[in-house]
């Protein structure tokens, strides 16, 4: 993931997936039926998108204030501008995978929300805060910063899932989730930039 080539390829792959998803969205928006469409490619209430973004910004604000209160903000990882672009692109890619596919539907509300909590835990632990891959082996990091960052990602995941599976989103559109995730990642990149953790272009 540290290779600029790998990062560019990842951005291109996610861009292509978004193209496919948006094509399905336009088809569904036109009222045409289709089989095999990517999940959540439906329109939704625009107010729900703004609510999703507002909630995402509030979580980033809570994260920033929390890091300052715990005196761990200086432990943030440094990123490049290119990695910042990967971070923004992943806002769509991760939503397609997790909120789109990794959820159990049509088995009742209890199963739905148990799967949401379970996959949110997977989502949080998949982010390399509590662990890292170094020289062919996994190293674990049981630090205050790692635990706090993992908790924030877990809460973000719950918020993204809620934005898709609530009564205000009967079409189960992914738009609120995508908007919230991209907004959250953008805010994180801007916080890093302001605090001096963005170093170089690639």
Q: What digits encode the pLDDT tens for the residues 129-173? A: 999 888 788 999 999 999 999 999 999 999 999 999 999 999 999
Q: pLDDT of 171-200, one tens digit each?
A: 999 999 999 999 999 999 999 999 999 999
Taking every pair of Cα atoms in the chain, the longest distance, rounded to a whole number of angstroms, is: 54
pTM (2 d.p.): 0.95
Span 8-26, pLDDT tens digits: 999 999 999 999 999 999 9
| Inside any domain, residue 199 | no
Whether residue 33 is predicted with pLDDT greater than 80 in this model: the reply is: no
What percent of the chain has pLDDT above 90?
Answer: 93
**Residue 200 counted as domain residue:** no
51 inside domain: yes
* Phi, psi dihedrals of residue 137, rounded to the nearest 5°: -145, 160
Q: Which domain holds residue 29?
A: 4-194
For residue 67, tell me if it sits in a domain: yes
- Measure the CA–CA gap between 79 and 170, rounded to whole angstroms: 38
Q: What is the pLDDT of residue 151?
A: 98
CB 92 within 8 A of CB 18: yes
Q: How far is CA 56 from CA 6, 33, 43, in A?
A: 28, 32, 20
Number of domains in the chain: 1
Average pLDDT over residues 32-60: 95
12-43 as b/e: b if 16+ CB within 10 A: eebeebbeebeebbeebeeeeeeeebbbbbbe
Confirm whether 202 is domain-assigned. Answer: no
């Amino acid at each position: 993931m540290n290779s600029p080539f790998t990062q560019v390829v990842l951005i291109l792959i996610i861009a292509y997936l978004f193209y496919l998803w948006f094509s399905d969205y336009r088809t569904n928006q036109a009222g045409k039926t289709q089989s095999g469409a990517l999940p959540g490619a439906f329109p939704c209430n625009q107010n729900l998108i703004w609510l999703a973004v507002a909630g995402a910004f509030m979580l980033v604000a809570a994260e920033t204030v929390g890091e300052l209160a715990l005196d761990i903000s200086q432990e943030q990882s440094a990123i490049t501008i290119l990695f910042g672009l990967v971070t923004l692109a992943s806002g769509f890619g991760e939503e397609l995978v997790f909120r789109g596919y990794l959820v159990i539907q049509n088995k009742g509300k209890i199963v739905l929300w148990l799967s949401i909590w379970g996959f949110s835990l997977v989502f949080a632990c998949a982010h390399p805060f509590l662990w890292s891959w170094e020289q062919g082996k996994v190293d674990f990091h049981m630090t205050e910063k790692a635990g706090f960052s993992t908790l924030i990602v877990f809460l973000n995941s719950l918020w993204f899932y809620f934005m898709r599976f609530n009564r205000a989103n009967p079409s189960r559109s992914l738009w609120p989730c995508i908007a919230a995730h991209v907004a959250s990642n953008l805010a994180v990149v801007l916080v890093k930039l302001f605090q001096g953790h963005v170093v170089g272009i690639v």
